[in-house]
């Protein structure tokens, strides 16, 4: 099938490359000329495991092409996926200007009576498809345009997006006609997974509801973690005990420094805004957001108490990406942590396997407070504390026994609970974790 994609960001690029991999013919609109050139040469503009290999293969096959000429893509395509940004406005609502601009462009270049299915893959509030249908009607200006709007939310996790796309838990398709349902269904014909055909409104809510529920699980276990620290319990075992309950499940019950990234924070705000706009009580989501916003502050408070103040203390930040296996630093917990540490007068050193340059670009106001290091060992040397912020395997595999001698004080705050506590204590570290009474464990060993 001839398919077009607007936007070559995380969602658009993964979607386009994976659809090309299963045999569709893709043309992708991207306004950034430098990106277009790189992508047509098989150079991925984002880090995602497995993506570069698929991109190179499908470029060589002729299954995918990138351009900034939207008219040619519109003419080429039977189905057009919209994968452009929907960033939050100051009030928390989703900014749909890029989506609307893309639809206007499609309406401008579409031929009369030529049926095209416009599929919104970007995360948008409920009612967006209806608004876009009205926009198309306003753009007709006497022409007979045969454009239909559908909803097909993505459920990709950064760091495993290619695998998630090729092996989905489910595919949700919201359409208003049998023709659109059949056409969109044929795009995913080869996928063996549950396929939910529904209205666009239901499809739009499914995406927001899913992300909001997962974020709620994270904030819930972080709330429990705080209690565990106060009473001497172990949140990892609490989560394990909860997770065996089939009604709850073990996923997203890992206590830590809180969620970040491009999805959860903005999706919760947008869902909250929609609920409030309908006069509904969405206070649960307000508290989920509030708990998450306090996570970095709690880490700083614990570190400050342990070091007897932070002014002039050297603190190493291990990890700038919001999670491992990605170079994405949007809404990164590390950024919040660095800002709070700087306010306390700490001397901040930071490292990340992939994200240093992205962090510099995203947070220029914080760069003056940070010394960046390519290697974790160099970042930790001379520090009074090392804080593991991102769950990179590289940090778990560090030679912590050897690193200890290079530190001014052997304090490690593991905000991801990824290191082995017994090993850290055996190596005479002062080991802090989330939801664990490590001070109690240290006292029991002495």
Place of tokens 């639809």: 103
Closest C-alpha among 86, 91, 186 to residue 131? 86
- Secondary structure element (H or E) that encloses residue 205, with its range: helix 200-231
Place of tokens 């970095």: 296
Question: Which string of DSSP letters, residue by residue, matches 155-201?
Answer: -PPTTSHHHHHHS-S-EEEE-SSHHHHHHHHHHTTT--S-EEEE-HH
263 annotated active-site: yes
Residue 89 DSSP one-character state:
P
Distance CA 80, CA 18 (A): 15
Catalytic residue among 18, 83, 228, 263: 263
Phi and psi at residue 201, to the nearest 5°: -60, -45
Taking a C-beta distance cutoff of 8 angstroms, is the pair 168, 29 a contact?
no
Which CB contacts under 8 angstroms, 24+ apart, belong to 175-184?
A: 175/148, 175/150, 175/151, 175/199, 175/200, 176/129, 176/148, 176/149, 176/150, 176/200, 177/148, 179/115, 179/148, 180/117, 180/148, 180/150, 183/78, 183/79, 183/117, 184/79, 184/117, 184/119, 184/150, 184/152
Q: List, by residue number, the catalytic residues.
A: 263
């Amino acid at each position: 099938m001839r398919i077009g994609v607007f936007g070559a960001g995380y969602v658009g690029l993964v979607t386009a490359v994976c659809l090309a991999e299963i045999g569709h013919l893709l043309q992708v609109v991207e306004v950034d000329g430098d990106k277009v050139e790189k992508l047509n040469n098989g150079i991925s503009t984002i880090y995602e495991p497995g993506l570069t290999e698929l991109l190179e293969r499908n470029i060589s096959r002729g299954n995918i092409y990138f351009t900034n000429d939207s008219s040619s893509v519109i003419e080429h395509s039977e189905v057009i996926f919209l994968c452009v940004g929907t960033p939050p406005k100051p009030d928390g609502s989703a900014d749909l200007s890029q989506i609307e601009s893309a639809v206007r462009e499609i309406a401008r270049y579409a031929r009369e009576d030529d049926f095209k299915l416009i599929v919104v893959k970007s995360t948008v509030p409920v009612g967006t498809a209806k608004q876009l249908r009205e926009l198309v009607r306003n753009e007709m200006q006497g022409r007979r345009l045969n454009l239909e709007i559908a909803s097909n939310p993505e459920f990709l996790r950064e760091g495993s997006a290619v695998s998630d796309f090729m092996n989905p838990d489910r595919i949700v398709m919201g359409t208003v006609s049998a023709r659109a349902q059949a056409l969109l269904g044929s795009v995913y014909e080869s996928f063996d997974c549950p396929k939910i055909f529904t209205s666009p409104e239901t499809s739009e809510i499914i995406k927001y509801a899913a992300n909001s529920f997962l974020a709620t699980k994270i904030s819930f276990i972080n709330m429990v973690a705080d209690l565990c620290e106060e009473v001497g319990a172990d949140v990892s075992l609490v989560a394990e005990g909860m997770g065996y309950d089939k009604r709850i499940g073990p996923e997203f019950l890992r206590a830590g420094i809180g969620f970040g990234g491009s999805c959860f924070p903005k999706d919760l705000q947008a869902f909250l805004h929609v609920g409030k706009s309908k006069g509904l009580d969405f206070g649960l989501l307000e508290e989920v957001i509030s708990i998450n916003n306090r996570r970095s502050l709690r880490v700083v408070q614990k570190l400050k108490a342990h070091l007897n103040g932070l002014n002039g203390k050297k603190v190493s930040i291990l990890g700038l990406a919001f999670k491992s296996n990605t170079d994405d630093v949007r809404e990164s917990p590390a950024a919040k942590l660095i800002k709070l540490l700087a306010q306390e007068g700490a001397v901040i050193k930071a490292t990340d396997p992939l994200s240093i340059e992205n962090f510099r670009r995203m947070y220029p106001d914080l760069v003056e407070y940070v010394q960046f290091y390519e290697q974790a060992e160099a970042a930790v040397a001379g520090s009074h504390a090392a804080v593991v912020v991102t769950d990179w395997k590289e940090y778990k595999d560090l030679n912590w026994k050897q690193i200890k001698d290079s530190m001014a004080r052997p304090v490690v705050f593991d905000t991801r609970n990824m290191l082995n506590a017994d090993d850290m204590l055996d190596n005479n570290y002062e080991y802090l974790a989330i939801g664990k009474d490590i001070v109690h464990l240290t006292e029991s060993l002495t």
